[in-house]
Amino acid sequence: MKDKFYEYILNLQDRITSKLEAIDGTAKFREDLWKRAEGGGGRTRVIENGAVFEKGGVNISAVHGALPKSMQNYFGVKDADFFACGLSLVLHPKSPMIPTVHANWRYFEMYDEQGKIVDQWFGGGQDLTPYYLFDEDAAHFHTVCKKACDKYDSDFYPTYKKKCDDYFWNTHRNEARGVGGLFFDYCKATGKKSMHNWYDFVTEVGDSFLEAYVPIVEKRKNISFNEEQRAWQEIRRGRYVEFNLVHDKGTLFGLKTNGRIESILMSLPPHVQWRYDHHPEKGSEEERLLHILKKPKDWA
């Protein structure tokens, strides 16, 4: 399973980066191959200062070795070995009219002293963070997510949509990071679903990513914007940074397992603002966004 999924994310990375380069038309992804001293490594691809994408990363990693003490405590296990691989991406467009997008699809195995698999699961999801909210864009993104889920189980979309709303919640701000999408974790073999069933589902979601995001970018990339709108984008990016550094499990896992810092922190945007006690003008589009982020909405 780990070899099968790793081959899948290698191919998916190629498909996604090729499409994004074509959309941008100017910038190309820079590739870094890296190794982890304890075992494994990855292929990081970053795009910067493009016509459409100000900064973005589409990264894959496959790491293995002894489970660090901090993660042993987290999982409630003693000495164990692990394998983890996944693709993680974040795209920060230049225009505040195009939303930031995040996606991640991952697989994990844990082994006993004899090298036997004692636990394994899939996780992942994709979510949208707009700065100026076009309702039809949020509806499109969620509809594609729902279509991918419905092929496998009609309960998946409402369940994983709620998990996404709950997970990407900036508790210290009492607001959502964005308009959500899907979030699933610890997808394990049960009486009803095998690991092969979960593989089919997770790869279906991965394959749906470009369909969910690209039409939004194409529709919004030529809309003009002013300096005030750009400043609002940078203020909202600050909330994105806060979530990733305070709450995000993937970031914390990478930091606690001696991951590659440049790859882990590639999710952070290049230009951000934190203004003291900032409030948007009443009745503005900026205020409408904040109002919607206070309570998750059924977009699909």
Residues near 237 by beta carbon (within 8 Å), at least 6 away in sequence: 92, 100, 269, 271, 272, 273
| Cα end-to-end span (Å), the chain | 32
Helices (H), 65-194: 69-75, 135-150, 156-167
Q: Return the C-alpha torsion angle 161, 163, 167, 170, nearest 10.
A: 60
Residues near 67 by beta carbon (within 8 Å), at least 6 away in sequence: 75, 77, 79, 80, 81, 82, 110
In this structure, what DSSP letter does residue 155 have?
A: T
**284: number of Cβ within 10 Å:** 11
Q: Is 271 a catalytic residue?
A: no
The one catalytic residue among 102, 196, 279, 291? 102
Radius of gyration in angstroms for the set of CA atoms belonging to the chain, rounded to a whole number: 19
Length of the chain as a residue count? 300
Task: Check: CB of residue 242 under 8 Å from CB of residue 172.
Answer: yes
Integer Cα distance of 63 and 274 in angstroms: 35
In this structure, what DSSP letter does residue 115 have?
A: S
Instruction: Tell me the CA distances in angstroms from 203 to 12, 148, 299, one per residue in order.
Output: 9, 10, 23
Return the active site residues: 102
